[in-house]
Structures are given as structure tokens and as C-alpha cells.
Chain A
């Protein structure tokens, strides 16, 4: 799975594509990305906008996000504000292009230990936690609570792009709307280029600036929800 792409291969491609890249594009740019069953995905995610991706389960939505976060070997090019993924070290890239998986991971005993410095104390009220949640043990968190905290944990690291894998999957109706509104406000305020994997048409309608559907081996724009 982890094969090494030869340097020359990559450089040829860079030469070929050099003139086609718009150097001033702010946001995330995917060019001919191939991963798993997806053949060639090209996509622009401008700053501060939400692009929704939907598709049947197993169609490769999560793997696409993993490829953009550079967690899986993939073909094609991915750029953030004109910077090529391969031109920065992998952890710097992931710090800027941050993926929040559907099932968030917590490895310390206490919630607060996962948050750098004092960022945990600035927990936004919109997330609906009582004060003192940072002293809670991780084991008492419900899956919905974990998911909301994982979103805040990602934002405290100040990324420039967000890859959200069904961020409201474990939330009930009211909480979903509240978290959506809070996320959208943060995305606009911080100018985050956001790729949002969702399956609920109503949610896509509420949050998406554009919507793409995975059909077979590629992405197709979907205008039905606008």
C-alpha cells in the first residue's frame, strides 16, 4: 500500500501542470487525485467555503479525505494556497489541512490533556458543555460529546483547511443545527477551506456552498439541492 512515488515521476507531472495552476487561488485545490476506487478527482475548495461530498457508503468518501490529509498514498496533486502537499513535511501539511474523523480518538485520561495550553478553557458555549468539562475523564464522554470536543480540538490548532467526516453523525436534531451554525460561523470567520462529507440532503442544503456526489469513479456536481 505504501509505495514510494519516484521523484522523477512527480517532477514531470509538476512541469506539465505548472502553467495550469492559478497561483493566487486561496484554498484547497485537488488535481487528478486518485485513491482507491476514485479515478481522477479535481476540485477547488475556496477559502471560507463549504464543499459537501456525498455518496453511498464504501464509495471512498473517507479515503478521499485521508488522501487529502496525506494519510494514504495517492496519485495526483493537492495544493493549499498554492503550496504543494509534497513540498512541506507531512506533519506540517496535516497541521494546516486538518481532518476530523467520524470517530474521534482520545488517548489521555482527562479531556483537558488533549488541549494545548489554555485553549480548553475557551470552549465556545455553542458546544453546550458545562464548565469543568476539561477535568472530566474521557471515558465518561458520550460519542456525541466526543465529536463536538474533537471539532473544537481541531480548531484550536488553527488549521487553514478542514476535512470533516460526517461531523454531526452522533448528534440529535437540535444539537446538529446548533453545531452546524457554530461551525459555519467559524469557517467564515477563520476563512477555512472546508470539505464536508455528509449524507443527509437537508444538512447539505443548509451548509453547502457546492455539493458533489461520488458516482462510480469520480465526483459529479449536484445542483439538485440548491
Chain B
């Protein structure tokens, strides 16, 4: 089955729809026109650039270029985790904990999936490694930033309860038990919801893309299941690490709550 390539001018037709929406918004003073247009321009430019990068990467497929690409993706994701938290740990801790947790979970799970499950030749073949890592990081980023945001915000608001529990001789883990559970739940919720709704409420984007590109649905579905499972596992382990490192950092060596380590973004 041949893939129908899209001519650039045909994308212009889709752009017209956005322009129409922006015009409607402007006329009825809904106030989204500006951000809508900026986001549209960003999408086009960012994706066009990444297409160039991927073309070059696929052509060379040298390991160090792929590793460099993965590193850049990780750093950008780490920065994004920091910017999505209302209150965050001061200094480099917020970035370090977010990026560290994403590195350990995303990279481990992606490499595992590449070597053990998919098995391309070589295992880091960019057309498998980069999209897989991208999806892992994207979802991990959402999960970890939601979990850390919830953790920091709850600790900030429930300072009196946490200290009250410490006064009764509880360890810092016991005093933070409920908050850690809530934070994990809030980080995992998007992945769990996505799995529960998959195929019934929504057709996941990757599978849709593969089918549009000409894959038989049975193959596309298998890839989609693989991706969803590893995304959920990766997000879960990432959130576990981020929440436990982040909550440890909120206490000092004498198990005192140190709210001065949290700053408002």
C-alpha cells in the first residue's frame, strides 16, 4: 500500500481553518486568537525543523548523533518539568530530580523495549529509538510534573499537619504518607485514563498515524499496546522516583520539614 504524500499547499487548506477560527475568536472577543496563532506557527516551525533533523539522523544513523539527540530531548523535558510546577525545590534540585527520574525510567524502559521486544538492527536504529523515546519522555514528563506539583503544593498547604505528625514521633515517611499517595495517583492518572479509554473513547494518535501511513491495523494495534504498556510502566517508575527523591529533599537530616527549600515559580 502506497502512502499518499501531502503537498505543502494542501497543509495551507488546514491552516485556513485555523485562520477562520482565529477570525471568529477575534470578532466575538473570545481572546484566544493571539495564542492560537502563535501556537500554530510554533507547531509548523518546530515540526518542520524536527523533520530535517530526523531526515539527517536517519541518513547517518551513527550512535553518537542519536545519543546527542536523546540528551537534548532529556534536557528540554527536564526544563519543562521545572516550569510546570507551581512551587518547586530551590536551585538545581527541581531540574535534577525531574531529569534524573526521567532519565532512569525512560531510558531504561526504552532500551529494554528496543532490545528485548522490538529488536531492530542495530538496536538503536533511529526510526525506532527516537519516536519511542519521544513518546516515553513526553508522557513521563506529564506524569512526573503532575506528581511533583501535587507533592510540593500539598506539603506547602499541609505544613501544620505534617509537623503535628512529626511531633507525635512519626518518621518523615509516615508524616508524608497520604501526600505521597495522592501525588502518585495524580501523576499516574493520565496514563491509567488513557489505557482505560484506548480504543473505545479514543483511537490513540500513534496507532492512527501508523494506519494512515499504511500499516495493517493488527500491526498498528500491537505497537500501540506495547507503547501504552511501557509508557505506563515508565511513567509509574519515574513518578515513584521523583516523589521519593522530592519528598526526601523536603526534610533535613533531623527529619525537620524545610519549607524554605520550596520557592514559588
Task: Tell me whether A105 and B169 are in contact in the complex, defined as CB-CB below 8 angstroms, given that A73-B256, A90-B256 are known contacts.
Answer: no
* Alpha-carbon gap, A1 to B159, bound state (A): 15
Docked-complex contact B163 and A71, CB < 8 angstroms: yes
Q: A92: which B residues are within 8 A, CB to CB?
A: 169
- Nearest-CB distance from B165 to chain A (Å)? 7
Docked-complex contact B164 and A2, CB < 8 angstroms: no
Q: B178: which A residues are within 8 A, CB to CB?
A: 107
* Alpha-carbon gap, A89 to B258, bound state (A): 17
Docked-complex contact B170 and A91, CB < 8 angstroms: yes
* B79 on interface, CB distance cutoff 8 Å: no
* Alpha-carbon gap, A100 to B167, bound state (A): 7
Q: Which chain A residue has the least Cβ–Cβ distance from B255? A: A90
Docked-complex contact A107 and B161, CB < 8 angstroms: yes
Q: A104: which B residues are within 8 A, CB to CB?
A: 164
Tally B residues with Cβ within 8 Å of A.
23
Please indicate which of the listed interface residues B167, B178, B252, B253 has the most CB atoms of chain A within 10 Å of its own CB. B167
Contact with A along B234-265 (1 / 0, CB 8 A): 00000000000000000011111110110000
- Nearest-CB distance from A106 to chain B (Å)? 8
Within the complex, which residue of B164, B169, B172, B258 is in contact with A1, where a contact is CB–CB below 8 Å? B258
- Nearest-CB distance from B86 to chain A (Å)? 21
* Alpha-carbon gap, A90 to B168, bound state (A): 11
* A70 on interface, CB distance cutoff 8 Å: yes
* B171 on interface, CB distance cutoff 8 Å: yes
Q: B261: which A residues are within 8 A, CB to CB?
A: 2
Docked-complex contact B252 and A101, CB < 8 angstroms: no
Within the complex, which residue of A91, A96, A154, A157 is in contact with B255, where a contact is CB–CB below 8 Å? A91
- Nearest-CB distance from A223 to chain B (Å)? 32
Report B's interface with A, CB cutoff 8 A.
158, 160-161, 163-172, 178, 252-258, 260-261
Report A's interface with B, CB cutoff 8 A.
1-2, 4, 69-73, 86, 89-92, 94-96, 98-101, 103-105, 107, 153-154, 157, 159
Q: Which 3 A-B pairs have the closest CB atoms?
A: A95-B169, A105-B164, A90-B255
